[in-house]
Structure 1
Amino acid sequence: MVGEDAQEHDDEVLEQLLGGNETHVDDLPSEHFSAVKTGQHPDVVSICCSDSRVPQEQMWGVDDPGTVFTPSNIGNQVWDDDDGERIVDGGVLYPIYHAGTDVATIVGHTGCGAVTTAYEVATGADEPGPRGVDKWIELLVPVIEEALESDLIDADADRETVINQLVEYNVDYQASFLRESEDVPDEVDVYGFVYDFQGIYGNEDGRTYLVNVNGETDPDVIADLVPDRYETSTHSLLY
């Protein structure tokens, strides 16, 4: 007998999930997983914010499986808390240590809700709850507090500008933590991006703007590090 709880599920969403997967299966080439069925060697580990508007693989134009290792959490944080000590999150370290990955990216996004909430808490608001959310906000608040005390954030600007400057500051902060960790080999390249779907950095929705290359954050210097056709993908709200 089917239980009462099972009968009350959302038929429409479940049907969309099942139908979407059926389309996915039908569209896959017959050998789609042949190269990765017994192992993975992703080119990059890309830690993104857990946000339904940020497509972790599509933003790179990736269709092949096994290319991008995609851990995520609220605020695209590269760390976790271990008995009061900040350590590099296992989702970032796993592909570096066990799958031959030697490039890491941190991808923030415009209008980030986690950064916004951390900003509100840092300026006097209560934590939003529940505890599983508060944990990650608490880890982010010190970053925001440091940012607000720096000369990189225009505290007198409108709220949208401040939030998006904080988004970029957080990307840089996370990149620095990763590069400075003894757990991350020196040969791992670390790149920071901000995914823009609100026209903050430019007028192309979905553009990832390169804001950090192995610790370099000056957009003019970064522009010299990439081919000329990608110069418009280098921009900063902090300079």
Structure 2
Amino acid sequence: MRIRQSPLESARFGRSVERLTVPAGERPPFSPVGQALLESAADVVVLRYPAEYVDWFAMLSLPGRTPLFAGSLTYWRLAAGRGSGPQDADGLWTAELDDPAAASALVAEIFAEYGNHYAANPLFDDSLALAGYQEWAGACAAGGRCLALWGRGPGGEPEVLGLATVDDGPDTEILLAGVVPGARGRGRYAHLLRAVEERALGRGSAEVVISTQEHNTRVQRAWARYGFRPSHAVLTVHLVRSGLL
């Protein structure tokens, strides 16, 4: 088990942050995980491991570390081409968004109330966590990995209603996706999902993958309606160096 430094998070929060992710698959013993955590000198280690390892949390009260449970991520998958996408709608269209500043501003509006794992840790400022999402979205826009959903404003002028940022690998993973608060509840999110699915098909991806914090049930219902199926869950724990809390 190898802990990796997280320089972006360290710079953002003013604390040394490292990450350790235990992959799904054949269950490993806890001992190498515990040893890696004991050897770390970071202020915070963000540990992620499969949710079925329920007994691990009780073993995380290690010398010199305070474990903070930071929720779980639920992952959903869609076989590309099998989604129940909506029909074309007048006044709605999608296009690549290559403006990092615009993507950053949209994320600030869409995810302002989203409670991610950073909120569990009093050492981390929620506003700085949102700023991290904004930087992430801006980098995706600059790299050609951001789609925007467009509509017509009250005066008929074009306006951006939502965005999705993606990671292109063997599968297409949706990193951030949502619509602005004033455009929610009208089925527009499904148009954004369809745009990502069409992009995935165009790139030859077999699946579209997406995840969220487990409390975000509203968006998970939208995924289920579209055709996504739950895949697996991952627990997040922050191991904080003793004396910092």
TM superposition score normalised by structure 1: 0.29
Q: Which structure has more helix as a fraction of its residues?
A: 1
Q: Which structure has more strand as a fraction of its residues?
A: 2
TM superposition score normalised by structure 2: 0.28
